[in-house]
Structure 1
């Protein structure tokens, strides 16, 4: 009887250890391994602006002063529900401006149409813009597509314009999501990224590559 109990106890301990070990494997495995082995987003969203950390882009304010927007962060990752993200932040030292660009996708396998239909969300102060692929706008003969545009002495082709919306309160917080229509406009191009932002008061900032 004693030998039987000993064997039973050993069997129970082995089973418990096996169960715990299996549990550890399941709970400690990073979620992104279950989603995809590649977090990178490709296509229009990845090519937009050719933004790389450390890159500085010259701009000019409608009041005449010159400044640069620098790429200070570019984060590519997969979240817990298997959604890919690409977030980019541009900032200037003075005057203090900050622009965040973000995109998320729910699929890991693109066809060419998926890439064409990507949309980037741009936030600039209280304004929010939805930047659709200029190639998609062009093929659809959308009025948001501009074939040619001159900015500070330089001509840009394949430009698009996005109508802005703004947060209901002047200063956005993490819980504020409601937006209303705005007369703000953002002009952009896939190769150069953000070209010009027009604000509601008539002022604007625009890329300034003439002497670059």
Structure 2
């Protein structure tokens, strides 16, 4: 008599987690964060809601992990469904290095253009907007948003700006963290308010204006 194989609980858990992640991202994109519920995520993923509560304390925690998982998959070259995705040159996602070609302006423009593409991508924009908004009223989630999502993505910019300082392209008295805010804050402002277009041309102008203030005086 053939012996039965013991079910692989680890593989089943991984499949369930991935289904929950995908369900959370899809629902936030379709109905918004406010109308997304644990019950809705569970129904979409085909699991019981107690399964979700066993792994996460809230829908915000589900969404945070789902987005980080999506970012990791995209950085590794796979999309939501696991199909190979077209790479994005200069993408500073999940802590990937900012390019260093020796031309600071070109490098910053490349990576800010990739940031514009990401902010305009509805798959990533909806969860990030929801997490940013929820983090304002939930200090614990806000700290996670900064520590797990923002800091790893912005650290490579600081590294590149410090390299530019060493090369004499940026003044020695410039704080790289403040310089980073000069570059990213205008994009974030337009993205949050949705009052003006967020384009590659705008990203290029932000870099040009910022570098006029950061560069050594002639």
TM-score of the superposed pair, with normalisation by structure 1: 0.25
More helix by share: 2
Which structure would you say has the larger Rg?
A: 1
